[in-house]
Structure 1
Amino acid sequence: MPKRILLVEDDREISQLIESHLKQENYEVFIALDGEEAESFIDKEVFDLVLLDLMLPKINGMDVLKRIREKSVVPVMIISARGSDLDKALGLGFGADDYLSKPFSMIELTARVQAAIRRATQYVRTDHQPTEDRIHYKDLTLDINAFSVLVRGQSVPLTSKEFHILKLFLTYQSRVFTKEQIYQSVWQEDYYGNENVINVHIRRLREKIEEDPSNPQFICTIWGIGYKLGG
């Protein structure tokens, strides 16, 4: 069955170009031309990936992204002419999984789309997998099959990458991970000093699972090395 992609892009020429190319790659593409239409699709349909422009009529892309993250861990790739480091950090901070600056080639877009869907449908690549469906640590429970996390008995919505980062720490509860190891395990790509990407995701994850993100009890910083579970 073809993977389903929601393309949120108000430029009809660009949307038609992307749609045509992705259909040739055997994806099923749905197009929303503004933020309001995008939210309507999100409320009614299930997608394998969302391609999201930021500068949209009616409801801007960041607000659409927030709405998606309130109810779904579907991978979201921002495609935007706003390619500054601040825009990228904001997009990742609000829960995007990837950020592709315009103009881009269809070859790069296809590769990014394939990678994002692959990461979302596979668990973290490790040499050991938990034998149980649930992993526990203190008052935190991660359910692998349900793709869900409970913290102090409350369900906490995580993005796909946040979930996999947390799963990595819970799988190896005594291990310290460098930023390079986290990136290679979760993104499954070579690391080229993408510290800001890791920093943003760790910060957002802490904001969701820690009682006091400034004094974390779950994901702790090991200065000069990286991060580990607990103190």
Structure 2
Amino acid sequence: MKRILLVEDELEIAELERDYLEINDMEVVIERNGAKGLERALGDDFDLIILDIMLPDMSGFDICRSIRAEKEVPILLVSARKEDIDKVRGLGLGADDYITKPFSPSELVARVKAHLARYERLVKSNKGTQNELLEVRNLTLDLDGRKAFLEDQEIIFTTKEFDLLIFLAKRPNRVWNKEQLFEQIWGMQAAGDVSTVVVHIRKIREKLESHGADAEMIETIWGAGYRFNL
């Protein structure tokens, strides 16, 4: 049974989300305080963390940053704030997804299942004894070790940034639209919200270019999508 940590200060919302997750055979631990939620996240083992951004005692962004510095557990940020800047900030801190309120409990369950399944496949793929390398131009991707190198410089990517970069690098010279990338990387249909793809592409580009990569390695094809160029 998968263990979920739910950090949410509004009890009614927390209990509703817990009920839907438990119906789907998940064990849910609720923390309504940010500091206690962070302590629980770092001190216990969970398969996924659902983290509200607007907590009374500390910012969910700060909690996310602290968790990501210690663990690779999937993190889903939840907030009533719909501004793109909040999504950019949250995903930039290493969150795997950003869900805006109000949302249906069934959508939450679907996203949780998708992230759990993807993380489980990732863990299994890392059990091999010999790392698989993908070399494209002057970029080397260690698919098993989850590391990226440009020349001899290592570039640190978040889980979803690395997944997206691998997907594009394995399929060069083809244009993928935002909806296709969202479905491939996040494991669900975009349902009209593809801004997370835009944010991740932007962060990948910034990191590549800061290490000297060609600005057109990942090219925007206006009105169509993105292409990884050989």
TM-score bracket for the superposition, by shorter chain length: 0.7 to 0.9
Unpaired segments of 5 or more residues in structure 2? 123-130
| 8 A Cα contact 1:69 1:159, kept in partner | no
The one-letter code matched in structure 2 to 1:170 is: A
CA displacement 1:16-48 (0-9 Å, x = unmatched): 343343233221223333332233233333432
CA–CA distance in structure 2, aligned partners of residues 179 and 213 of structure 1:
26
Unpaired segments of 5 or more residues in structure 1? 124-131
SS at structure 2 position matched to 1:19: helix
Q: Are residue 110 (structure 1) and residue 109 (structure 2) matched?
A: yes
The one-letter code matched in structure 2 to 1:228 is: R
**TM-score of the superposition, structure 1-length normalised?**
0.77
| 8 A Cα contact 1:206 1:213, kept in partner | no
Which residue pairs with 1:129 in the alignment?
none
Which residue pairs with 1:91 in the alignment?
90
Q: Within 5 Å, which residues of 2 pair with 1:94-173? A: 94-122=93-121, 133-173=132-172
Which residue pairs with 1:68 in the alignment?
67
CA–CA distance in structure 1, aligned partners of residues 151 and 213 of structure 2:
18
Per the TM alignment, residue 142 of structure 1 is displaced from its structure 2 partner at its CA by 2.1
CA–CA distance in structure 1, aligned partners of residues 11 and 162 of structure 2:
34
| 8 A Cα contact 2:135 2:141, kept in partner | yes
Which residue pairs with 1:206 in the alignment?
205
The one-letter code matched in structure 2 to 1:64 is: I
Instruction: Rate the CA distance shift 1:73–1:24 in 2: closer, same or farther, 3 A.
Output: same
Q: Are residue 196 (structure 1) and residue 195 (structure 2) matched?
A: yes
Cα RMSD after superposing both structures: 3.1
The one-letter code matched in structure 1 to 2:43 is: K
CA–CA distance in structure 1, aligned partners of residues 16 and 178 of structure 2:
36
Which residue pairs with 2:52 in the alignment?
53
**TM-score of the superposition, structure 2-length normalised?**
0.78
CA–CA distance in structure 2, aligned partners of residues 83 and 93 of structure 1:
16
Instruction: Rate the CA distance shift 1:171–1:42 in 2: closer, same or farther, 3 A.
Output: same
Q: Within 5 Å, which residues of 2 pair with 1:4-15? A: 4-15=3-14
CA–CA distance in structure 1, aligned partners of residues 133 and 213 of structure 2:
27
Instruction: Rate the CA distance shift 1:155–1:48 in 2: closer, same or farther, 3 A.
Output: farther
CA–CA distance in structure 2, aligned partners of residues 150 and 215 of structure 1:
14
Paired-residue identity, %: 39
